[in-house]
Amino acid sequence: MTARLRATPDQDRFSAETERFRRELLAHCYRMVGSAYDAEDLVQETYLRAWRSYAGFEGRASIRSWLYKIATNVCLTALEPRRIRVLPSGLAGPCDEPDRVPSPDAPGEVSWLEPLPDAWIAPPHDDPAAVVVARESLRLALIASLQHLPARQRAILILREVLAFSAAETAEVLDTTTAAVKSGLQRARARLNELEPEPAELLEPTDQRARALLDGYIAAFERSDAALLEKVLRTDATLEATPFRDWQAGRAMCIHVLDAYVLGTPGDWRMLPTTANGQPAAVVYYRAADGVLRANGAVVLATTATGVSRVVAFHHQPALVELFGFPEVYPA
């Protein structure tokens, strides 16, 4: 009992000094591993390790840099035995067989990328610039591309380009040299340019045009109206959905697949708007055999001034609906 009482002031001080960084550390871990669930676990491990070594922290670095050092190394350790998380477009080119029936992969066959609810990492203040930066650095296409970088290059790129750590600070975090950091950053940039040479100019999810496109996409599904998708999708739009490997490129192909195999009849689908990865999104419900609309997953849209350029759906993942704070059964 005495030991516990003595530890209380230290615990309070530790919490006061570190808790304000939890959201940004969660975003950092998500960028590294591509999974909201894994990122949450890694942040917990980061704080556990930080608490264990807190007595020896002597302020040689800022508390923020110290936490990032721990979090980055926790992520690197976790990534060593794992397969990278991908989207269907990261496995092969688009499907060019319009009449091939989509077939899902067996559970566990592929490690799929997962979306991140904006509410998890939204800055607690109202700094518009900070909000925009946070959103841009979590865009789904960027997170998908980052997963294809070697883990240490990924860490270097995130620390330098997203978090604005200096080369010296990054070297300290990774226990390496500034020369190695500069070389790793150069290789990471080159590889990222190969993966995503021209990132699209996306609308902010708060933009009225973005919300109108999301509303149109939702209406198309809820009404089973393929014609509405013509008004929403760009001619060069892409469509991918886990756990299906096949993905489609071009509005005509996207609409054909959705109309033939997905839309069903009016009322089969219901969606509730939200935001994920700094983009308009929706949680998805599908009518089960018993007639109840049950949680199915989520969908994230890349919205531009000329329409939706990319649809990424996460099907057969009902836990995602709860992740976003929505009920398992569609609310009456």
pLDDT tens digits along 207-226: 999 999 999 999 999 999 99
Nearest 5°: CA angle at 280, between 27 and 266?
A: 135
* Residue 287 neighbours by CB under 8 Å, 6+ apart: 267, 268, 269, 293, 294
Same domain flag for 162 and 215: no
Same domain flag for 35 and 161: yes
**Structural domain contains residue 330:** no
Give how far the C-alpha of residue 157 lies from the chain's centroid of Cα atoms, to the nearest Å.
17
Mean pLDDT over residues 274-300, rounded? 97
As a whole-number percent, the residues of the chain with pLDDT over 70 amount to 92
User: Domain with 317 in it: what CATH number?
Assistant: 3.10.450.50
User: Is the Cα torsion angle 133, 138, 139, 141 positive or negative in sign?
Assistant: positive
Same domain flag for 318 and 248: yes
Same domain flag for 225 and 265: yes
For residue 241, list its beta bridge partners: 313
CB contact at 8 A, 159 and 173: yes
What pTM did the predictor assign? 0.92
pLDDT confidence of residue 188: 97
Residue 159: give the domain boundaries: 2-83+90-95+115-195
pLDDT confidence of residue 123: 65
For tokens 């799929």, what's the residue? 112
Same domain flag for 167 and 245: no
CA separation, residue 120 to residues 117, 135, 259 (Å): 6, 12, 34
Q: List the structure tokens of 41.
A: 């676990």
For tokens 């008004």, what's the residue? 231
Out of 96-105, 225-234, 293-302, least confident range:
96-105
Is the pLDDT confidence value at 183 over 60? yes
**Structural domain contains residue 331:** no
Band (pLDDT 50/70/90 cuts) for residue 131 is low
pLDDT in tens, 83-98: 899 999 999 999 999 8
CB contact at 8 A, 137 and 145: no
Same domain flag for 134 and 250: no
As a whole-number percent, the residues of the chain with pLDDT over 90 amount to 79
pLDDT confidence of residue 81: 86
- Which of residues 172, 195, 218 is at a domain's end? 195
Q: Exposure of 282 by Cβ count < 10 A (0-12 exposed, 13-18 middle, 19+ buried)?
A: buried
pLDDT confidence of residue 130: 63
Mean pLDDT over residues 127-141, rounded? 77
- Which of residues 166, 195, 224 is at a domain's end? 195
pLDDT in tens, 50-86: 999 988 887 667 899 999 999 999 999 999 988 899 9
Mean pLDDT over residues 136-165, rounded? 95
Distance between start and end Cα atoms, the chain:
51
